[in-house]
Amino acid sequence: MIPLPDNVPVLGMGVDILEHARLQRAIDRTGQAFLDRIFTPQEQAYCLAKRNPLPSLANRFCAKEAMAKASGLGIARMGLANVSVANRDDGAPFLIMEEICRDRLKADFGRVPTVHLSLSDSQSLSIAVILLTP
């Protein structure tokens, strides 16, 4: 649970859900070109080292989509490759934004908001929720 003090405004919220099979079809169609367009080399290395990389890839894809929604930047202005997901030592996910993405957020919000990220998956689905606060 993320403890937020009283009266902290929510600047944006985004959610995305993805069927693993849909992501697998996209990978099957375009292979490495798809992975390179969507995921950073670090994300690929982390996910592809897993026995079943699909849930981790889907989680990251959802996080990028949820950030595009929460920020109001959309995919075109944000760029999926300009945002990546990494994990802290305790396993908690967090978002890393390239400078171009941070600059666009500053222009729209007057600052780079704090990004709260939650990821979850089941056998066939992944979901991400992004909450932006000052």
pLDDT at residue 29, as a whole number: 97
Output the pLDDT for position 1.
Answer: 53
pLDDT at residue 107 greater than cutoff 80: yes
* pLDDT at residue 9, as a whole number: 87
Q: How confident is the model at residue 46 (pLDDT cuts 50, 70, 90)?
A: very high
* Backbone φ/ψ region at 110: left (φ over 0), alpha (ψ -120 to 50), beta: left
Rounded mean pLDDT, 3-13: 82
- Tokens of residue 86, six digits: 């990494």
Which residue has better confidence, 9 or 24? Answer: 24
User: Of all residues in the chain, what percent carry a pLDDT higher than 70?
Assistant: 96
Q: Is the pLDDT of residue 26 over 90?
A: yes
Amino acid at 26: A
Q: Which CATH number fits domain 12-133: 3.10.20.30, 3.90.470.20, 3.10.20.90, 3.90.1200.10?
A: 3.90.470.20
Domain boundaries, the chain: 12-133
CA angle 32, 33, 39 (to 5 degrees): 80
Query: Cβ–Cβ contacts within 10 Å for residue 30, how many?
Result: 12
